[in-house]
Amino acid sequence: MMIQQQCFELEKQNKVIFKAILDARRLKSLKDIPNYGPDVLDTGIAYNLANIAHNGAVDKGGNPYINHPTAVASQFSCTYRICTAYLHDVVEDTDYTVEMLIDKGIDPRVAEAVRHMTHTKNLSYSEYLEVVSKDPIAVDVKIADMLHNSDLSRIKSYNEKTLSRMRRYNNGLRFLAERNFGINISVFEKI
């Protein structure tokens, strides 16, 4: 099977896994997840911080990087998840720290979810997913993140690196589906 075809198969499989997660949770979309707490957070603070932090950065398709966290955030109505989505790559990809986010007015619960979503160099990908899986907000945002990252309409070329990323997202979705929602993903053939 050619690389491009494998990528498309993985994209399709990722959407099926995502649908299985929604079905297991009796959700029509991630927007159906209720707000984490009684407070409705000001999502503009998180967006502005992310926009400043990612200023000038571009994604793998050459688009402004802020488009990615914005797309992930648009999947939610829960303000805690929206804020986490805006900020999910800030600590990992910039000089910001979790403590700096709190100092800039980010809710500590959001900052904790961002901490769980930050992949540090000392963790393997499977160890990283173990950390993510401990935080329900981080789990939901990571699922939306992997789904957006495996959207092939954002990709300019198909090569081994693209296929490797698509496999990583597929494995990540499988892991979170099994670990956090008890979904048997073994019915899906590995590509």
Q: Find residue 58's DSSP bridge partners.
A: 64
Task: Tell me which DSSP letter residue 189 carries.
Answer: P
Output the DSSP codes for 144-186: HHHHHHT-GGG-S---HHHHHHHHHHHHHHHHHHHHHH---GG
d(CA 96, CA 90): 6
- Whole-angstrom distance, CA of residue 32 vs CA of residue 35: 9
Domains of the chain: 3-162+175-187 (1.10.3210.10)
**186 pLDDT tier (thresholds 50, 70, 90):** confident
Question: What is residue 61's predicted lDDT score, i.e. its pLDDT?
Answer: 80
pTM given for the model: 0.95
The amino acid that residue 25 corresponds to is R
Helices (H), the chain: 3-24, 43-53, 67-73, 79-87, 90-93, 98-103, 108-117, 125-132, 136-149, 160-181
Average pLDDT, the chain: 94
How much is the pLDDT for 47? 98
Cα(109)–Cα(87) distance, integer angstroms: 12
Predicted local confidence at residue 157, as pLDDT: 85
> pLDDT tens digits, residue range 92-124?
999 999 999 999 999 999 999 999 999 999 999
pLDDT tens, 121-168? 999 999 999 999 999 999 999 999 999 999 999 888 899 999 999 999
pLDDT of 188 reads 62
Model confidence over 35-93: pLDDT tens digits?
A: 998 889 999 999 999 999 999 999 878 889 999 999 999 999 999 999 999 999 999 99
